[in-house]
Amino acid sequence: MPEVKPKTESQKALEKLGLRRDIDLALHLPLRYEDETRIVKLSDVRDSYPVQIEATVTHQEVTYRPRRQLIVTVDDGTDTCTLRFFSFYGSQQKALAVGNTVRVRGEVKGGFLGRTMLHPSFKAAGGDLPTALTPVYPTVAGLPQAYLRKAVLSGLARADLSDTFAPGDLEWLQHRQHQNHQQPLWTLRDALQFLHHPTPDVSIDTLMDHSHPAWQRLKAEELLAQQLSQLQSRRERAALKAPQLQAVEGGTLHARLLAALPFGLTNAQQRVGEEIAKDMARRIPMHRLLQGDVGAGKTVVAALAAAICMDAGWQCALMAPTEILAEQHFRKLLGWLEPLGITTAWLTGTQKAKERRAMLALIESGEAQLVVGTHAIIQDKVKFKNLALAIIDEQHRFGVAQRLALRNKLHHEDMEPHLLMMTATPIPRTLAMSYYADLDVSTLDELPPGRTPIVTKVVNDARRDEVIERIRAQISQGRQVYWVCPLIEESEALDLSNATQTHADLAEALQGATRADGQPVLIGLLHSRMHVDDKKAVMGAFTAGLMSVLVSTTVIEVGVDVPNASLMVIEHAERFGLSQLHQLRGRVGRGAAASACVLLYSTGDAPRLGEAARERLKAMAETNDGFEIARRDLEIRGPGEFLGARQSGEAMLRFADLSVDVDLLEWAKAEAPMLLDTYPHLAAKHVARWLGGKAEFLKA
């Protein structure tokens, strides 16, 4: 048996980048390019522009003011330039000895003391110039560009890049190229060869914005792979079995719950409820995403779905990402279902052992028809008697493995439960077509009556005193206030106020303030590191109206429903994501009182906010529409960040951009069924090439 050589550090680094197969190396495309194909005269150089010069060293010295540095002067016959190195070795000093002619590449800066290059790359002059741009690849520590370039070139030569498109599949793309007055569609091999080593006459802009015809080929292939994977996932699920949960004739629990609700359903809730009921009545597992804006009434839709499940004699589980959100659901569902004779179990990781054992027994015996909790629900010790419906709230905050674990809790005749996932972050159309193509999507596009419009103000931290006076006025009218901070403790890395300090500052600023009933103002503090009993006590006091101000970290992002709260202050709002800001804003406006959200921002030492932060705050001020917020969020962040844990942190699209490649996406969506039906072997090869093992991420 041949001896297996240990992996080198460079090989380990390649694996860290996910570069294990030849095709992985071939698809590892440059981050940017350097033009080493020509020599530029210093007299023709533009400031702040990377160039390559060839010049003779005329002076070298090591200085120690203001710090140790190597100073080298070079002259190319048209002008001189100073090369400055703060980190250098003896070998570099030798290579840059006076009289040597060197080829230097770097960014030239002009100034009072003349032209300068800081830490340029250099080598001895002479030899042929490259005929293509030099690629600069994304890398990690321990993986130099020279090694990576060689590995990519080798992988590109060995990789199987034969076409996986079926005959005729490229006609639409060919037509599209012709319409854009571009050359005919490139083959995959030609496209990759070109993008790794483009000729110097190409427009750098078309390479960097991915609009070059070679990029079009890659984006079309990538989108087709994603659509094929989603379609395969949907068809595999259609072959599985699930319990048929028929609504009982005459209506027992479902009808009684509808009659007992203290409000009527909106048209959207009725429509979505019918879609879910039809799904659960089939023998194919439901795989549906229920999306709706903050306050659209997703919980009552979930409760009605659970009622159908329990009517049919099966168990239902609802899993939420945080204990606060899970408890909010538990209290609502308990209030609606307990009077109807339903036993509900509660499971979290912080439960006392005795209470937990009692809950586990209720679940295993089937006496608990509904189980509500956090990820504790999916632990091995939790045994369901007959789970038929799994509901996951804020599904994007759970990993793939966690969602699969809940689906595997039904041990009954090779069946799996119906799955209803809920999100208050609406999914833009292009994401629904791509990342969520294997799901059926239901949308609650109508808010229940009584929701108060929220006025959003963007305020500089310099006006903090005015905000505190606004709080004092709200309290005096009997209202309650949230103040949200991004951190719990001091951080040297980020100059952000913390919840503990803000709580102390507000207590001092509001000293002597009274509520509408003349009682002194109580200010609470809530964050994730508090003991669970302390959290419950604080939330209980705020919910009951005993506490006027709640200073909190983002643990209140979802699941908190206090109709009397009319003002939300978000400190350092520029640090929050757009979706998170919208979720936090949704904690107010739940009652009849006029409500407002103040986005308190700080620029620190900078003269103004960064562009992305400015765009986020502008979007918040301009609209309360969660669907519009989601669209802008996708534009600002891109799909990788927007999707969060759905893909376990991995963006499934590396090259295509859903904001500009909608037509390519629509082509891929139409093409995938034809390719899968007619040429299944080519479809399998295509998915394996582009997704490898990542295709499994799309099945949860």
Q: Is 90 exceeded by the pLDDT of residue 418?
A: yes
340-370 in b/e form (b: 16+ CB < 10 A) is eebebbbbbeebeeeebeebbebbeeeebbb
Q: Is 60 exceeded by the pLDDT of residue 16?
A: yes
Find where tokens 């839709």 sit: 301
What is the amino acid identity at position 253? L
Cβ-contact 367, 343 below 8 angstroms: yes
The more confidently predicted of residues 218 and 406 is 218
Structure tokens, 507: 């207590």
With the C-alpha atoms ordered 220, 226, 227, 228, is the resulting torsion angle positive or negative? positive
SS (H, E, C) 607-626: CCCCHHHHHHHHHHHHCCCH
Q: What is the C-alpha separation between 381 and 360, in angstroms, rounded?
A: 8
The domain 253-444: what is its CATH number?
3.40.50.300
pLDDT for residue 517: 87
Most confident of 163-172, 366-375, 406-415: 366-375
Structure tokens, 281: 């009545």
pLDDT for residue 649: 34
Cβ-contact 474, 566 below 8 angstroms: yes
3-state secondary structure of 35: coil
Most confident of 115-119, 160-164, 433-437, 444-448: 115-119
Confidence category of residue 488, pLDDT binned at 50, 70, 90: low
* Integer CA distances (angstroms), 633 to 288, 321, 397, in order: 23, 22, 17
Mean pLDDT of 488-492: 52
* Cα angle value 219/220/221 (rounded, 5°): 90
pLDDT of 281-307, one tens digit each? 999 999 898 988 877 889 999 999 999
Cβ-contact 496, 639 below 8 angstroms: no
Flag the least confident range among 60-64, 67-71, 352-356, 644-648: 644-648
Confidence category of residue 236, pLDDT binned at 50, 70, 90: confident
Q: What is the C-alpha separation between 176 and 671, in angstroms, rounded?
A: 15
Confidence category of residue 476, pLDDT binned at 50, 70, 90: very high
3-state secondary structure of 128: coil
450-453-454-458 Cα dihedral, nearest 10 degrees: 180
Element (H or E) spanning 275, and its range? helix 267-280
Write the CB contacts of 437 (distance below 8 Å, at least 6 apart in sequence): 226, 227, 230, 231, 234, 669
What is the chain's Cα-based Rg? 31
For residue 504, the 8-state DSSP code is: H
pLDDT for residue 78: 94
Structure tokens, 10: 């460079």
136 C-beta neighbours (distance < 10 Å), count:
14
Mean pLDDT of 478-484: 93
- Every domain of the chain with CATH number 2.40.50.140 lies at 38-129
For residue 79, the 8-state DSSP code is: -
The more confidently predicted of residues 529 and 476 is 476
Strand-pair partners of 347: 373
What's the burial of 549, exposed, middle or buried (CB within 10 Å: 0-12/13-18/19+)?
A: buried
Structure tokens, 418: 């119906």
Q: Is 60 exceeded by the pLDDT of residue 175?
A: no
Find where tokens 């951009």 sit: 657
Q: Is 90 exceeded by the pLDDT of residue 251?
A: no
pLDDT for residue 270: 95
pLDDT of 66-88, one tens digit each? 889 999 999 999 999 999 999 89
pLDDT for residue 694: 56
Find, among 153, 157, 158, 154, the residue nearest to 132 by Cα.
153
Q: Is 60 exceeded by the pLDDT of residue 2?
A: no
Q: Is 50 exceeded by the pLDDT of residue 650?
A: no
Q: What is the C-alpha separation between 596 and 566, in angstroms, rounded?
A: 6
Phi-psi region of 480 (alpha: psi -120 to 50; beta: other; left: phi over 0): beta
pLDDT for residue 452: 72
Longest dimension (CA), the chain: 99
Cβ-contact 470, 567 below 8 angstroms: yes
CATH superfamily membership of 38-129: Nucleic acid-binding proteins (2.40.50.140)
Strand-pair partners of 514: 520
Name the pairing type of β-strands 101-109 and 116-118: antiparallel
Cβ-contact 619, 481 below 8 angstroms: no
Structure tokens, 122: 């250099």
pLDDT for residue 646: 44
pLDDT for residue 492: 45
pLDDT of 590-633, one tens digit each? 877 889 999 999 887 777 888 888 888 999 999 888 888 888 88
274-278-284-288 Cα dihedral, nearest 10 degrees: -10
Q: Is 80 exceeded by the pLDDT of residue 173?
A: no
Confidence category of residue 496, pLDDT binned at 50, 70, 90: low
Give CA 269 to chain center in angstroms.
28
pLDDT for residue 172: 47
Find where tokens 């001896």 sit: 3
Q: Is 80 exceeded by the pLDDT of residue 427?
A: no
Phi, psi of 134 (to 5 degrees): -90, 120
Give CA 35 to chain center in angstroms.
34
Most confident of 194-198, 229-233, 378-382: 194-198
Q: What is the C-alpha separation between 33 and 196, in angstroms, rounded?
A: 9
Query: What is the average pLDDT score of the chain?
Result: 84
What is the amino acid identity at position 601? Y
What's the burial of 531, exposed, middle or buried (CB within 10 Å: 0-12/13-18/19+)?
A: exposed
CATH superfamily membership of 454-623: P-loop containing nucleotide triphosphate hydrolases (3.40.50.300)
SS (H, E, C) 555-603: HHCCCCCCCCEEEEEEECHHHCCHHHHHHHHCCCCCCCCCEEEEEEECC
pLDDT of 103-146, one tens digit each? 999 999 987 778 999 999 999 998 889 889 999 999 888 888 98
Cis peptide leading into residue 30 (ω within 30°)? no
279-282-287-289 Cα dihedral, nearest 10 degrees: 0
Q: Is 90 exceeded by the pLDDT of residue 94?
A: yes
pLDDT for residue 88: 92
Find, among 486, 485, 320, 295, the residue nearest to 397 by Cα.
320
For residue 641, the 8-state DSSP code is: H
Structure tokens, 225: 């792979």
pLDDT for residue 187: 84
pLDDT for residue 700: 46
pTM for the model stands at 0.72
Q: What percent of the chain has pLDDT over 90?
A: 38
Strand-pair partners of 372: 318, 346
* Integer CA distances (angstroms), 296 to 302, 426, 540, 547, in order: 12, 11, 24, 27
Cβ-contact 392, 422 below 8 angstroms: yes
Q: What is the C-alpha separation between 533 and 603, in angstroms, rounded?
A: 37
460-462-464-469 Cα dihedral, nearest 10 degrees: -100
Structure tokens, 397: 């905050």
Flag the least confident range among 69-73, 169-173, 177-181, 681-685: 177-181
pLDDT for residue 281: 94
- Every domain of the chain with CATH number 3.40.50.300 lies at 253-444, 454-623
pLDDT for residue 3: 60
